[in-house]
Amino acid sequence: MDKALLTALYTELCDFSGMDKLDSYERQDYLGGVMDVAGDIRFSLQEGLDFDLSKTQITAKPTGEPSREYLSLLLGLLDLRAERARGGVSPQFLSQNEEVRRLLNYYVDTPEKQLLLSEAWDMFFKFKTSDKQKRPWSETIQQNNLRAFNNILLVMGDRPVQSISKRDVKDCLVILAQFPQRNKKPYKDMKLEDILSDLDATPEEDTVSSKWVSEHLKLMQSFFSAYLKKEVDILEKSPTEDVKWDVTSVPYAAYSNAEINKIEKEATSLDGWKKWILLLGIYSGCRRSELASLTMESFHKDEDSSLDYFFIGKAKTAAGIRKVPVHQRLIELGFLDFVQASKGSKVFPELTSYNAITRHIDLVRDKLEIPPTDVEGFRKSFHSFRHTFITKAREKGNDKSLIQVVVGHQGTRDVTDIYTHTSSYGIKVLADIVNSVEFGK
């Protein structure tokens, strides 16, 4: 690890003199560029991929491939600059600045031997189960906490505990909130790795409670704050400090017409999967995992109506296996041309993680200054496209059971109903429902 290079990077990107002179329009453009690069770095770190620094104007660059430490610090500094561009010297900026300073100090001052998350957990577990404790963990508590830690370890990865930031903790909680209830089929027989790789295919009614997520945060607070910071003095500051999780489950919000039109306009300025994954979310009602898994073989032309559709052949429920007509708006924008020009089997080969889609819509939403929640506190995310699509289809007076067929939602139907609807209704009927969804341009 080149500590001098990391220090130089920090010094270079903490010079805000040029950025502070930008007018409001220039600053907005600059913010969008910073967030795009930050999103690409997050994806690279998540997937263990190389990141091409040539797309940046940074002078403090390594001669070869950047290390994980370099990219982590660069990501923190880009987030810092984005916060400065967004709100000046705000409390959020000062907090982020402290976080970046802590990360730099850790990289520069920490010796080569680092305590991994799994190693720190072993110490913590022995401490909490020791006879010297006034109230050592019971067998039941040990099992529950070990299961919770395995979830956390899977999401965060086995990394040095000093490198874990508040952002990492928050990201972990967001991902955990998408986990299915493990006492339900088919999840009880699935490996954790398989569950994590296909979170978006989990129906909303099968996801864990917010209280379950909150219990993971409590364990992290005990682990990072009470033990690693206060008991054994390994951490100077706990990454769980001031992190909260509302124990009330927060459903998803629908986007307004104005918000959808903003997102569509932004999407048309992008390329590749970053463009089409947003437009497909808007005009298909599909889950992100369904869209990310599309292949060339998914696309067909209906013999009776000559209408184009794509087939989703893999799902956790019978309702999820279905034909989805391609919205006329997608055809107008050139989606089928994009599919035909795709090389290889997968339509979006760059997408190796569904979480990259979540990060992408978050960045776009922030750039467009769309609030992350509505006035009732409901979340606006990629999954909100699905809610918006269903809401618009219902507003047009479409048959509820047919809408369920289009979006692959079982609802209150039994298996016989599902197969009857799927096999009996032609693409033309389903296409009328899909094309009824519009946003008043």
Q: Is residue 250 part of a domain?
A: no
246 belongs to a structural domain: no
Could you tell me if 380 and 267 lie in one domain? yes
* 149 is a domain residue: yes
Using only the alpha carbons of the chain, give its radius of gyration: 24
Helix axes 139-156, 117-128, angle to 10 degrees: 170
Per the structure block, which two tokens stand in for 307? 């209408």
The residue out of 109, 143, 174 marking a domain boundary is 109
Q: Is position 352 within any domain?
A: yes
Q: What is the pLDDT of residue 110?
A: 61
Q: Count of domains in the chain?
A: 3
State whether 261 and 407 are in the same domain.
yes
At which of 231, 266, 288 does a domain end?
Answer: 231
| Domain contains 194 | yes
Same domain, 265 and 409: yes
Between β-strands 299-301 and 322-325, what pairing exists: parallel, antiparallel or unpaired? unpaired
* Strands, sheet with 299-301, edge to edge from the N-terminal-most edge strand: 299-301, 308-312, 322-325
In this structure, are 318 and 397 located in the same domain? Answer: yes
Those residues of the chain that have pLDDT short of 70 are: 1, 46-48, 110-113, 197-201, 246-251, 315-318, 353, 409-425, 441
Q: What is the pLDDT of residue 439?
A: 93
Residue 193 phi, psi dihedral angles, 5° rounding:
-60, -40
Q: Which residue segment(s) compose the domain that 189 sits in?
A: 117-231
The answer to whether residues 378 and 331 belong to one domain is: yes
145 and 48 together in one domain: no
Domain match, 105 and 131 both: no
pLDDT of residue 419: 39
Q: Are residues 130 and 90 in the same domain?
A: no
Cβ neighbours around 172 below 10 Å, total: 23
Give the separation between CA 36 and CA 360, rounded to whole angstroms. 8
pLDDT of residue 57: 84
Could you give the CA distance from residue 65 to residue 74 in angstroms, rounded to a whole number? 14
User: Does 327 share its domain with 423?
Assistant: yes
Q: Which of 109, 132, 150 is the last residue of a domain?
A: 109
Nearest to 289 by CA among 353, 346, 339: 353
Give yes or no: residues 268 and 148 share one domain. Answer: no
Two tokens at 288? 């992100």
- Same domain? 121 vs 105: no
Cα separation, 196 vs 441, whole angstroms: 38
CATH number at residue 301: 1.10.443.10
Cα 428 off chain centre by: 34
pTM of the model: 0.57
189 in the same domain as 306 = no
Does residue 376 contact residue 251 with C-beta atoms inside 8 Å?
no
Q: Tens digit of pLDDT for each residue in 70-83?
A: 888 898 899 889 88
C-alpha to C-alpha distance for 366 and 415, rounded to whole angstroms: 41
